[in-house]
Amino acid sequence: MKTLVVYSSRTGNTRMIAEAVHSVMPDGAGIFPVRDAPDPSPYDFVALGFWVDKGGPDADMAEYLGSVRGKRVGLFGTLGAWPDSEHARKAMQAAVDRAEGNTVLGTFLCQGKVDPKLLAAMAKMGGNSPHPMTEERKARLEEAARHPDAADCENARRVFTDIVKNLER
């Protein structure tokens, strides 16, 4: 079975999860950043990872997803929001919608630290920021700063181990 992991990652969070996912793929699985990703046609299963930008999969992965058709796929992502929030659910649904024409066998989302440069730029905007700092937001960003952690990597491995087991059955 030929398997492939393709991920998009600006600051390394999604790459970390991609490496965890890759570690449970069958021997010989490929792993590529999206910009170097091969044509997915020869692969039996493709794991696709994105970071959440503007409430959906980032543009590079959204574009690549558009080139994957008729495959069995698994989707994973990292985001600043709580992974069990409505925002997270919608972000994953946007990725699933983008993967239309494929069979989605599983999904995984976890938090990932937000680029400090983005946070600094927003702090400078103060009250004009579209995301003003509240106690809730502060707590969420502080938690995000600790992710992905070892438990996130383990959870991602578990989700993709199950997918691979079912594929090999």
Ligand X SMILES: Cc1cc2nc3c(=O)[nH]c(=O)nc-3n(C[C@H](O)[C@H](O)[C@H](O)COP(=O)(O)O)c2cc1C
Residues that bind ligand X (CB under 6 A): 9-14, 51-55, 78-81, 87, 112-115, 118
Distance CA 149, CA 91 (A): 21
User: Minimum distance from CB of 148 to ligand X (Å)?
Assistant: 8
Kindly state the tokens that stand for 146: 């600790």
Position of minimal CB gap to ligand X: 112
Whole-angstrom Cα distance, residue 118 to residue 156? 26
* Residue with Cβ nearer ligand X (73 or 79): 79
In whole angstroms, the minimum distance from the beta carbon of 66 to ligand X comes to 20
CB nearer ligand X, residue 72 or residue 148 = 148
Q: At its nearest, how many Å lie between ligand X and the CB of residue 68?
A: 19
**In the structure encoding, which two tokens stand for residue 118, read together?**
């983005």
Q: What distance in Å separates the CA atoms of residue 141 and residue 136, rounded to the nearest whole number? A: 9
